[in-house]
C-alpha cells in the first residue's frame, strides 16, 4: 500500500508513555505489553476474569487509541467475557507506524499473548470494528477460534474507498487491500456480522455481503436506525444481550468440537 494512501487510512492518536489509564476507564483494566512479529512493542488493556470465561480480542477502528476505546468494556459487559483491547503499531503507546501487514502482525501477536495467558483458541473470540474487521478476518482464517464478530466493517477497502476517502482519488491503494470477503470462506468458526442499517460511511450492503460470504454457522445482527459509530448506543441494552447470547452458543459449540 502506498505511503500517501496510508495517510488517508490511518488516524492514530498517541498516548504519552507514562500516562496511566484515565479515571473513566472501566474498572479492572491492566496495562499489558506484547511483541509483534517484527519486534514492534504493542500496548493494550486487559480485563481478566475467571479462567473458565471466554476472552474477546477487540480490534478497533482506524482512529483514536485504547483509552478512548476502553468503553467497549461496558458495551460487552453482558457477555461476562475477559477482554483484550490493543493499539496497533503507531497508535497509543505502541511503537512503529501503521501498515496493513503490520496490523496483521499485531493482531496475531495479541492472539499469541492470550495463549500465553492460558486462553486457548477455542475460548477466544476475535471482534473487529470497522478497519479492525479487516484485521480480524485475516488473523482468523485457518485458525481455531471460538468465534468471529465483524461490526460496521467492509468487504474490501477498494469497495468503499471512494466513500471513505473522497480526497484520495488517484491514490486509492491496491485492489486487494483488507480484502475480507475473499478470506471469510477460510474462517472455520462461527461468524456474527453486526451493522447499522443507516451507516453512511460503510453501507449496510457491505455487512450483508460479508454475512453471505461467511460459512455456517453465521448470523446477521442488523441494528435499525444505527449509523457507523453509534451501533451500541442505538441498540441500547439489547446490544450486549444479543452478543452475549451468541457468544454463549458459539462457546458451547467450540468446546464441544474441542472435546
Q: What is the pLDDT of residue 163?
A: 72
Q: Could you read off the pLDDT of 19-73 as tens digits, one per residue?
A: 999 999 999 999 999 999 999 999 999 999 999 999 999 999 999 999 999 999 9
How far is residue 85's CA from residue 127's CA, in Å, rounded to a whole number?
A: 10
3-class SS of residue 38: coil
3-class SS of residue 235: helix
How far is residue 152's CA from residue 60's CA, in Å, rounded to a whole number?
A: 11
Please name the residue ranges forming H helices in the chain. 3-9, 66-69, 72-75, 100-116, 131-140, 157-164, 180-183, 204-213, 231-235, 237-257
How far is residue 56's CA from residue 3's CA, in Å, rounded to a whole number?
A: 32
3-class SS of residue 193: strand
Q: Could you read off the pLDDT of 143-167 as tens digits, one per residue?
A: 999 999 999 999 998 888 767 766 5
Average pLDDT value for residue range 113-142:
97
Q: Supply the pTM of this predicted model.
A: 0.95
Full set of structural domains in the chain with CATH? 3-257 (3.40.50.1820)
Work out the number of other CB atoms within 10 angstroms of the CB of residue 4.
11
CA distances from 146 to 46, 85, 118, 246 (A): 19, 17, 15, 11
Work out the number of other CB atoms within 10 angstroms of the CB of residue 185.
11
Determine what percent of the chain is predicted with pLDDT higher than 70. 92
Catalytic machinery residues: 130, 199, 228
Distance of CA 201 to the CA centre of its chain: 17
Q: Could you read off the pLDDT of 186-222 as tens digits, one per residue?
A: 999 999 999 999 999 999 999 999 999 999 999 999 9
Amino acid at each position: 500500500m502506498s505511503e500517501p494512501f496510508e495517510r488517508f487510512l490511518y488516524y492514530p492518536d498517541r498516548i504519552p508513555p507514562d500516562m496511566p489509564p484515565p479515571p473513566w476507564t472501566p474498572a479492572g483494566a491492566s496495562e499489558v505489553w506484547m511483541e509483534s512479529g517484527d519486534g514492534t512493542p504493542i500496548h493494550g488493556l486487559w480485563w481478566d476474569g475467571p479462567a473458565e470465561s471466554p476472552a474477546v480480542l477487540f480490534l478497533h477502528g482506524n482512529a483514536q487509541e485504547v483509552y478512548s476505546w476502553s468503553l467497549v468494556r461496558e458495551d460487552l459487559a453482558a457477555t461476562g467475557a475477559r477482554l483484550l483491547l490493543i493499539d496497533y503499531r503507531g497508535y497509543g503507546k505502541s511503537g512503529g507506524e501503521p501498515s496493513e501487514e503490520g496490523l496483521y502482525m499485531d493482531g496475531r501477536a495479541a492472539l499469541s499473548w492470550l495463549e500465553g495467558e492460558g486462553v486457548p483458541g477455542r475460548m477466544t473470540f476475535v471482534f473487529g470494528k470497522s478497519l479492525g474487521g479487516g484485521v480480524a478476518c485475516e488473523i482468523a482464517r485457518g485458525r481455531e477460534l471460538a468465534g468471529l464478530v465483524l461490526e460496521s466493517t467492509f468487504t474490501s477497502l477498494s469497495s468503499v474507498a471512494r466513500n471513505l476517502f473522497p480526497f484520495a482519488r488517484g491514490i486509492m491503494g491496491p485492489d486487494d487491500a483488507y480484502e475480507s470477503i475473499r478470506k471469510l470462506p477460510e474462517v472455520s468458526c462461527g461468524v456474527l456480522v453486526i451493522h447499522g442499517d443507516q451507516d453512511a460511511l460503510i453501507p449496510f450492503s457491505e455487512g450483508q455481503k460479508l454475512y453471505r460470504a461467511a460459512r455456517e454457522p453465521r448470523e446477521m445482527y442488523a441494528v435499525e436506525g444505527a449509523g457507523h459509530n453509534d451501533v451500541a448506543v442505538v441498540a441500547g441494552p439489547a446490544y450486549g444481550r444479543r452478543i452475549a447470547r451468541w457468544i454463549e452458543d458459539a462457546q458451547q459449540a467450540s468446546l464441544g468440537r474441542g472435546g
